[in-house]
Structure 1
Amino acid sequence: MEEAKQTMPRDGQPIVFRDGVVVCMDRGHQLLSRADVLIQNGRIAAIGPALAAPTDCFAIDASNGIVMPGMVDTHRHLWQTAMRGYGADWTLTQYFVWYYLQWGKAFRPEDIYAGNLLGAVEAIDAGVTTTVDWSHGLQTIEHAEAAVDALESVPGRYMLAYGNIQQAPWEWATSPDFASFVNTQRSRANSNVALQIAFDVTGDPAFPERTAFEAARALGLAVTTHAGVWGATNDIGIQQMFDAGFMTPETVYVHAASLTADSYHRIAATGGSVSVSTESEESAGQGYPSTFRLREYGIPASLSNDTSVWWSGDLFSAMRATLGADRAMEHLEHHQREDTLTHCTLRAENVVEMATMGGARALGLDGEIGSLEVGKRADVVLVKNEASPAMFPLLNPYGHLAFQAQRADVHTVLIDGKMVKYENRLLGVDFTVVRRRIDTTIDHLQSTLGEDAWRQEMNPEIPEVRVINNPYTYTYDDTISRPSDAGRGANGVDHR
């Protein structure tokens, strides 16, 4: 049957990807070298070579490209996207001081909206179709409503993980206003925003976070928590959660980078999962990225970007960094035993799974998204860029996604079968509006801090570098001609 010749699909029109490498990420990790994916009524209708398609089908040439599931980011502070790159030279200490103690309270509801808007647009541009907005800047219900409004204005699938770093979780999570917000959001028809609750357990012997867990349970909300963060959250908090019965399969532990065996055993025993933010852990100081430990204890992992105040906003970078960190540790452990690693344990295929099905499982959405399977929601990404020399030859699809591809190579993005990016360009996004909102937020923050503080906070003091004294000295007898002298002028430059 001849397929429709159009520049763009109509709403509800069937779509077929033709002749691509299809990375299914299903239970058997089916990999098809030249196949089609048919989308009808917002779901995947068929997968296979040379599929028959309806006559009105919109065809996308996927040859020389990879068709994959939409990616899932399980931990991103979208509200901080307005500060992109500001904290590039921060440690976690500077992050805590800036957001928690000094300037996080300066963010108005409209600033939360601006950051969420830009962050959500950035996510879908990079093929991330589902994002957990770890939104711990919600000082008031008005801030929360602004966060939701921004997310609902951008096509995508979002989980608002409600948090408030300006108040204790046992205060805001138990308030009538918070319960009312939850009930109101749940009643909104056709919203693309679901809810979680986000707070940390500090290890206070009194375990004051208990009432926040109880509130979450009463409201039927899963909890996501920063666990195993050096100097902030530790094994005591995990033990408290475990003893109180608050560790569940729905719990997502972010980072889990500085825990002991007991904590990892508890996470594994209760069926939880870990969101690994490798770029963050490597740079900020939560602890060494934990994938090599998670394997030892049988704990499932997903990937996340954390915050654009430091790092990238795409899971290609997260996959790349995760493979690098895991392999570096594996090599180092072998070297310390005076041994040589000959085969890497973590493979490119594994991090692609973390970026797709790993995230879907963590959120309890693996029956709907995370893999390309007939009947699932059509969250589909085509990675293809005919203008990029890095996109050919396409030999190892998993390796290509993990080490070669980047956001500019995302050709097409479908969410629930609706096209939101095509031919490497976002659709329906007015960047003038987005930029205007971000500029307004930056102007507000700069004026609030003052020019001196703005510059100083962005450029923290550099510690003194002490060079180790060199015990070796080497001198030449000036009467002896050295081979290296030949061809050198008086200034030591080699003219040969």
Structure 2
Amino acid sequence: MARTLLRGATVLTMDSQGDLATGDLLVENDRIAAIAPSLQVDDAQVLDLAGHIVIPGLVNAHMHTWQTALRGLAANWTLLEYFQKMHAGLATAFQPEDLYIATRMGALNQLNCGTTTLADWCHNNPTPAHNDAAIEGLLSTGIRAAFFHGTPKPDPKPGQTPFWEVPHPRREVERLLGRHQGRPLLAIHAAVLGPHYSTLDVALHDFRMARELGLIASMHQGGGAARTPDGWERLEAAGLLGPHINIVHGHALSDAQLQRFCELGMSFSAAAESEMSQGHGHPLTGRLRRFGRAPSLGADLESVLSGDMLTQARVALGIQRSLDNVAYREAHGTIPPTSTITTREALSWVTVEGARMLQQLDRIGTLAPGKQADLVVLRATDLNMQPVHDAVSSVVFQASLANIDSVMVAGQWKKRAGQLLAGELSHDLQRLRESGEKITRAMGLAP
């Protein structure tokens, strides 16, 4: 039995046990065996983590990892430009090998930044070979992943059925489920169009498929007029809504719809920085809080911004505090007496809520005996972190990639002492650069 004892760290469990200002955490094989102020353990590798903070592994609940080779290219685009230049343009030049290297390097960067679970929303996969390449990229890294099988969205050619009238390819989803069933670090789900981006017939087909196959059905909601304005009502009438439905963004939803969806147990994933940058609107965070719910968070697009999930927590917290503060000042003519959202709540968005959205809260999202040993170790002795008065606030507001010392997934170190344990990456980085240059050149966007 492999045993590792993390000794003397500040442990932020995000669980009912509470935090330990100084504590020990024992990992046995792939699971957390014990957490206590002090543990006496024989035959364990002991790591002295005095001056460090241990948190649950971060969960990136929504990212299009296939765009890694296009980092920064869409940074100045609105959502309308993104649809035209990315989906109708750049995406059409991707070969399976481009998906492999983008997904591999994007997932490795997630590990480097402290993300142990990645919801990879792959919607540039016109062939089974593209799907296989993307999944192989995930598996090559050892990250815990949920592969959300999507569908491409090119402009229809003359005589071609437009993508919004094409049902989700169930046979391909079933092939992926059969091929990868039983993998401990990989789940297969469906990234469907949903009623905002498809006809009613397609939405009904896709939602029934997800229910029958036991999948999470995740979909974008917002960004222009809905193709099926009464789609959500028709889907509910058909009994197809519930906790397995995940809405990303959600800006076109009315308060009545949002409240009803919360009552039905549906989940919501925000991408606050991307949404503010590209013109979606304000994130749903505050609206969800009014109904007793919270979002999971995703980085969304590395073609626009950083994949660092601590940044996403900070941005989402900042914009919602700002909205709340402005509303209070307009109502009362003065600065509010206290903040509406705590830093602990923001940390839960990238840990607990991400795990809940993926229906894996029984396995990940908090640090507790019996759960998977997915965790992050941060150096709290670094210049930008000292002094630490409130460990949660230091993690959310002070910490960055520079402080991510070690990352563990299912009991295996993926990063240790500041170094990503992925071998020599120079060849892969060259492949990533060549892929990005080839794709941009094909679309006439190369500098």
The interval holding the TM-score normalised by the smaller chain is over 0.9
Q: Determine helix, strand or coil for the equivalent of 2:193.
A: coil
Q: Deviations over 1:48-85 (max 9, x none)?
A: 1221012x322222222211111111101110111111
Out of 146, 152, 162, the position equivalent to 1:159 is 146
The match for 1:111 is: 98
Q: Which has the higher contact order (CA 8 A, sep 6+)?
A: 2
1:159 and 1:194 in contact (8 A); partners too: yes
Distance across 1 between alignment mates of 2:406 and 2:228: 42
The match for 2:174 is: 179
Out of 31, 35, 39, the position equivalent to 2:27 is 39
1:173 and 1:216 in contact (8 A); partners too: no
Q: Which has the larger radius of gyration?
A: 1
Worse-matched range after superposition: 194-203 or 78-87: 194-203
Q: Determine helix, strand or coil for the equivalent of 2:87.
A: helix
Q: Percent identity?
A: 30
1:274 partner letter: F
Q: Determine helix, strand or coil for the equivalent of 2:368.
A: coil
Distance across 2 between alignment mates of 1:293 and 1:280: 18
Closer, same or farther: CA 44–177 of 1 in aligned 2, 3 Å: closer
Closer, same or farther: CA 45–176 of 1 in aligned 2, 3 Å: closer
1:201 and 1:233 in contact (8 A); partners too: no
2:220 and 2:247 in contact (8 A); partners too: yes
Out of 186, 194, 216, the position equivalent to 2:187 is 194
Closer, same or farther: CA 175–381 of 1 in aligned 2, 3 Å: closer
Trace 1:318-333 onto structure 2 (pairs within 5 A).
318-333=312-327
Trace 1:74-473 onto structure 2 (pairs within 5 A).
74-166=61-153, 168=163, 171=166, 173-186=168-181, 190=183, 192-203=185-196, 206-231=200-225, 236-337=230-331, 338-384=333-379, 386=381, 388-450=382-444, 453-455=445-447
1:174 and 1:211 in contact (8 A); partners too: no
Distance across 2 between alignment mates of 1:231 and 1:341: 36
The match for 1:51 is: 39
The match for 1:475 is: none
Q: Determine helix, strand or coil for the equivalent of 1:389.
A: coil
The match for 1:480 is: none
Q: Deviations over 1:27-54 (max 9, x none)?
A: 35x1110111111121111111221012
Worse-matched range after superposition: 175-184 or 244-253: 175-184
Superposition RMSD in Å: 2.0
Closer, same or farther: CA 432–191 of 1 in aligned 2, 3 Å: farther
1:26 aligns with 2:18: no
Q: CA deviation at 1:194?
A: 0.9
Q: Deviations over 1:152-197 (max 9, x none)?
A: 10011100000012373663524534432332232xx546321110
Q: Deviations over 1:443-470 (max 9, x none)?
A: 32133123xx434xxxxxxxxxxxxxxx
Distance across 2 between alignment mates of 1:371 and 1:20: 16
Distance across 2 between alignment mates of 1:359 and 1:237: 26
1:108 partner letter: Q
Q: CA deviation at 1:105?
A: 1.3
The match for 2:159 is: none
1:413 and 1:420 in contact (8 A); partners too: yes
Distance across 2 between alignment mates of 1:250 and 1:205: 21
Distance across 1 between alignment mates of 2:408 and 2:260: 38
Distance across 2 between alignment mates of 1:235 and 1:381: 43
Closer, same or farther: CA 22–285 of 1 in aligned 2, 3 Å: same
Distance across 2 between alignment mates of 1:197 and 1:261: 26
Closer, same or farther: CA 269–198 of 1 in aligned 2, 3 Å: same
Distance across 1 between alignment mates of 2:345 and 2:355: 14
Q: CA deviation at 1:205?
A: 6.6
1:118 partner letter: M
2:167 and 2:202 in contact (8 A); partners too: no
Distance across 2 between alignment mates of 1:233 and 1:335: 38
Q: Deviations over 1:200-257 (max 9, x none)?
A: 2244674432112222223222101112445568974433432332221122111123
Distance across 2 between alignment mates of 1:335 and 1:238: 35
Distance across 1 between alignment mates of 2:364 and 2:34: 15
Q: CA deviation at 1:259?
A: 2.0
> What TM-score do the two structures reach when normalised by structure 1?
0.84
Q: Deviations over 1:302-353 (max 9, x none)?
A: 1111010011111110111011100110011122223431111111000111
Closer, same or farther: CA 286–238 of 1 in aligned 2, 3 Å: farther
Distance across 1 between alignment mates of 2:233 and 2:204: 12
Closer, same or farther: CA 80–237 of 1 in aligned 2, 3 Å: farther
